[in-house]
Amino acid sequence: MELLINRILKKSKENKLTIVAIDGMPGGGKSTLLKHVTLKIPSIKVVKMDSFFDVLTNGDNIFRVKKDVLIPLRNNQTAKFKIFDWKKKMLIDEENIDPEGIVLIEGICSMDKNLINYYDYKIWVDCPPEVGQERALARDGETFKELWINKWIPETITYINEQRPDKKADTVINYKDIDIFK
């Protein structure tokens, strides 16, 4: 963990703004890793891909993250965006992130081919699909079971197979290695 933190901090010393991605299978440990990173680097600003889900665009969070966060930040402008409230099933409060410090984008497809070139550092959490599915279902219960099994897991497997984000990562972390920090 210390090596990863040191790599992120080293990148941040090279730039006014450092944008980091954490991507991987659902249930793989991305959020757990994020918790540990933010404990070690409390000033980090976090953007979750799940906050960009939008029922009106059929969940086109990749386009919104690019348009509302990554492009403005790379143009030295404040990123302004609304987040998706999963309980209300609608976009709510606007958030703002200034183009400075470390910004971490966490979530499935955060290293999509349309976003990958905006990052200074990329982390892939490696987890077998069957383990990720089991863990995602255990975490979310019955609420999203059908979506996990019939949509989200298959779409993520397709994304991984077609785009190979694991091969584009600066660091690959096995999910078992994240579990030791719980």
Gap between the Cα atoms of 94 and 92, Å rounded? 7
Show the tokens assigned to 47. 């953007």
Q: pLDDT, tens digit, for every residue of 84-121?
A: 887 787 788 889 999 999 999 999 999 999 999 999 99
Instruction: Return the DSSP state at 116.
Output: G
The domains located in the chain, with CATH, are: 2-174 (3.40.50.300)
Structure tokens at 37: 């990173």
pLDDT score recorded for residue 57: 52
Q: Which of 79-83, 135-139, 174-178 is modeled with the greatest confidence?
A: 79-83
| Per-residue pLDDT tens over the stretch 12-42 | 999 999 999 999 998 899 999 999 999 999 9
Residue 58: predicted pLDDT = 53
Q: Residue 93 has what pLDDT?
A: 84
Whether residue 143 is predicted with pLDDT greater than 90 in this model: the reply is no
Q: CA–CA separation, 100 vs 72, rounded Å? A: 12
pLDDT tens sequence across 41-63? 999 999 999 888 755 555 578 99
The secondary element (H helix, E strand) that includes residue 134 is: helix 129-140
Q: What is the pLDDT of residue 37?
A: 96
Q: What is the pLDDT of residues 146-173, one digit of tens each?
A: 887 888 888 899 999 999 999 999 999 9
Q: What per-residue confidence (pLDDT) applies to 179?
A: 59
